[in-house]
Amino acid sequence: MTHPFYITTPIYYVNDVPHIGHAYTTIAADVLARFYRLRGNDVFFLTGLDEHGQKVQQAATKANIAPQAHCDQLTPQFKNLWKTLMMSHDGFIRTTDSQHQTVVQQFLQTLYDKGLIYQAEYTGWYCTFDERFWTEKDVEGGLCPDCKRPIEQLSESNYFFRMSHYQDRLKAHIQNHPEFIRPASRRNEVLGFLEKPLEDLSISRPKSRLSWGIELPFDSAYVTYVWFDALTNYISALDYLPSSPSRNRYWPATVHLVGKDILTTHAVYWSTMLMALELALPHTIFAHGWWTVNGEKMSKSRGNVVNPNAVVDEFGVDAFRYFLLREVPFGQDGDYSQEALIGRNNSDLANGLGNLLSRTVTLIQRFASGQIPAPVRSTEDEHDRELHAAAEALLQTTLPYHLNPERLEFNRTLEAIWALVQLGNQYIDKTAPWVLAKDPANQERLQTVLYNAAETLRFLCLATAAFMPATAQNMNEQLGLSLNFSHSLLAQKITWGELPVGTTVRKGQSLFPRIEATTRNKEKHIVEQKVEAVKRESKEGTKEEAHKDQANQTGEEQIAIEDFMKVKLKVGKVLEAERVPKSNKLLKLQVDLGSERRQIVAGIGKKYEPEELIGQTIVVVANLKPAKLMGVESQGMVLAAGGKEVLGLLTINEDTAPGSQVK
């Protein structure tokens, strides 16, 4: 087992309703925890809640209940969400835990005894929402520089931590350890902050104003400031949440994940506190960006706060996890929209990974009696070698590189995984196992192709397990494997060719069913169609006269351009194909048309096997009235060359998005 790996999220303020920002940080932490467990690291993953402070006290008073009861009522909303999102945290801390409060008081007493905490009168601008004092130079227009809410001027006696003593030492540490604050842009921000004189930090509030907090051990008239309380959780948790005290085992933390809005608190407040306590600093503090919604900042007043529970209910947990980490580089701001999530689901997940699994299992069931066949190495070619090399490089090099805590390039990791997904689908297209199956002389080559397709999926199971645990398990089961993702499967080198021969595959439901367009999008499409119809009608007069003068040189009946324009031709991608029972001619196709999925029955079964159509880009008559063929509804028509006999399906070679208009 390799060195310990300790990862934390911020502890979330209990009065907040869990939203996309909370989910984002915690999912990222979960991916790291799962990945490093797979690599054999001794992982401890901590998350939890910050339950003290003025806002909690005010909310409890308003509800006419005790603050502790108020916290107890709200805590399940976070715990239930983490369960829904499949979090694998090892510890969940609450700052109301008695063991945590003991450590906070021990730290406060230590600093007080060292003369690093002192009492002084203070006058300043106070923001109740942020529970923070601001200096005169920070305030503009009587508003908090952070949350832009009104502030009030307070004058009171408080205790201060001599944070200013550690300014030069902290600055030197950041300069000498480029990995300490990531990404680099955030590191530069903190260094810029430290160019100005660092003031001492107020670390108390009088009980006369705030009683809901941890009492100072050296003055019972005060409670500690919420940040001194909250930040200590990263160490206090190690004293009582693992099975045995583990501070020496896991500290210093490998990585603290935080939002960019609390970077200064962690990089400056927490770091100087640790220096004063003579404790090691964390290896890395990584600050990620914020999420907007449809280009706007999230806020309760706008009513656009994204509820992760609702998203998961509608689209599934792994689609949500994938979207958040694929859509934007970790560290930058991102924009959430339902349309973007649907796009990722349909293009990357359904058409990519889901399609590869479905094709592979179907082909093995059809051409290998449902069992993974033995490869014949003498039949290998450049396509096989390309697949081998890409799969091994993904697990051995690419994932460890991009998921290094100093980089945390989740989106690039997923790009690399999906490059293998794409390569797997291309491999099936190029090797055409349905063609190989027609010639007995190609049976050994067919066995090799089917084995390689399944082996690609084994590598993808391991690569996606940290990001999409439910999906990896589903793939594991459909392939008939027995991978235990709670074990350190990546601790040893994973090499190509270890997939057990003879394993029985079991086709299940689609990994990621395509998500149909929303009603709003459908209505928009209808309006656009009507507008186009009006435009065409306005031009009918002049065009019709022109076509009347054209001579019929071919002897065929001619139609006006307006007649042709009534036919809507669209690009479609075949997702699934199967024969219609009791027919040797009809095939039932499931076709992606971009905004929707259509079932089309086509009389091409004598020319094509169902498997060779999957993944093909075809042309579809999209506005044909539905009809039933042998009792099966057809919602369109595919275009093919030929008369009574089909000579060839009309396909598109270029990479063209499903739903594109053909004209």
CATH code: domain of residue 426: 1.10.730.10
Q: Which of 234, 251, 268 represents a domain boundary (last residue)?
A: 251
Residue 274 has pLDDT above 80, yes or no: yes
For residues 222 and 359, membership in a common domain is answered with: no
Dmax over Cα atoms in the chain, in whole Å? 105
Taking residues 478-496, what's their average pLDDT? 96
For residues 135 and 244, membership in a common domain is answered with: yes
Q: Which of 251, 277, 310 represents a domain boundary (last residue)?
A: 251
- What's the one-letter identity of residue 261? D
For residues 244 and 142, membership in a common domain is answered with: yes
Closest CA to 496 of 373, 572, 388, 604: 388
Q: Residue 513 class from Cβ within 10 Å (0-12 exposed, 13-18 middle, 19+ buried)?
A: middle
For residues 455 and 588, membership in a common domain is answered with: no
Question: Is the residue at 291 inside a domain?
Answer: no
pLDDT of 555 reads 52
Q: Residue 91 class from Cβ within 10 Å (0-12 exposed, 13-18 middle, 19+ buried)?
A: middle
Taking residues 263-279, what's their average pLDDT? 98
For residues 133 and 246, membership in a common domain is answered with: yes
For residues 361 and 464, membership in a common domain is answered with: yes
pLDDT cut 70: percent of the chain above it: 93
Question: Is the residue at 463 inside a domain?
Answer: yes
User: How many domains does one find in the chain?
Assistant: 3
For residues 9 and 149, membership in a common domain is answered with: yes
Q: pLDDT tier at 523 (50, 70, 90 boundaries)?
A: very low
Closest CA to 590 of 610, 609, 567, 605: 610
Q: pLDDT tier at 554 (50, 70, 90 boundaries)?
A: very low
For 227-251, the pLDDT digits (tens) are 899 999 999 999 999 999 999 999 9
Question: Is the residue at 280 inside a domain?
Answer: no
pLDDT of 534 reads 44
Cis peptide before 252 (omega within 30 of 0): yes
Q: Residue 559 class from Cβ within 10 Å (0-12 exposed, 13-18 middle, 19+ buried)?
A: exposed
Which residues span the domain enclosing 86? 2-162+200-251
Give SS3 for 592: strand
pLDDT cut 90: percent of the chain above it: 70
Q: Which of 444, 478, 512 represents a domain boundary (last residue)?
A: 478
DSSP for residue 371? B
Q: pLDDT tier at 145 (50, 70, 90 boundaries)?
A: confident
For residues 247 and 341, membership in a common domain is answered with: no
For 539-552, the pLDDT digits (tens) are 444 444 444 444 44
pLDDT of 553 reads 46
* CATH assignment at residue 603: 2.40.50.140
Question: Is the residue at 428 inside a domain?
Answer: yes
Question: Is the residue at 586 inside a domain?
Answer: yes
For residues 245 and 347, membership in a common domain is answered with: no
For residues 467 and 585, membership in a common domain is answered with: no
For 31-89, the pLDDT digits (tens) are 999 999 999 999 999 999 999 998 899 999 999 999 999 999 999 999 999 999 999 99
For 571-602, the pLDDT digits (tens) are 998 888 888 887 888 999 998 888 788 999 99
Question: Is the residue at 346 inside a domain?
Answer: yes
pLDDT of 651 reads 85
Q: Mention every residue, 6+ apart, whose C-beta is less than 8 A from residue 568.
A: 621, 622, 623, 661
Question: Is the residue at 622 inside a domain?
Answer: yes
Question: Is the residue at 288 inside a domain?
Answer: no
Q: Residue 625 class from Cβ within 10 Å (0-12 exposed, 13-18 middle, 19+ buried)?
A: exposed
Measured distance CA(620)–CA(569) in Å, rounded: 6
Taking residues 258-278, what's their average pLDDT? 97
